[in-house]
Structure 1
Amino acid sequence: MKIQKIFHYAYIIFAALFVYDAITKWSDDRNKAYMSLLFAALATFMFFFRKRFSKKMEDNNNK
């Protein structure tokens, strides 16, 4: 289960990298910047979704 928690935070790291990528590309090519922001939003969603899902599985295992 510890490796699963590492992957949860990997999503946040990827989201930060995509936001940085969007900021650097904003003045050059906005379409690529929007794509990076979309991936950042997706990575953030996946972080919260996976965290909630693993919490549910943990609660089910404890019952």
Structure 2
Amino acid sequence: MDVQTAQILRGFLMLNSFQQDEFVRTINDVMQGRKTSNKAFSEAGEILRVNTGPVMSACGCCGR
């Protein structure tokens, strides 16, 4: 398993069961062509209001 895959898996395992189900549904929608990856990424960005600037604490998903 490569590092990026391990980081995603670590983040996934930190989710509760409802969040894991929602994540799996979204991934399945992308993989089966019901939703484009760009659309899913855009929706996630809108929810997160992603800020790529410097932060004082480590990321909960990847630890960086």
Specify if TM > 0.5. no
Higher relative contact order at CA 8 Å, sep ≥6: structure 1 or structure 2? Answer: 2
Bigger proportion of residues as helix: 1
Normalising by structure 2, report the TM-score: 0.33
Query: Whose radius of gyration is greater, 1 or 2?
Result: 1
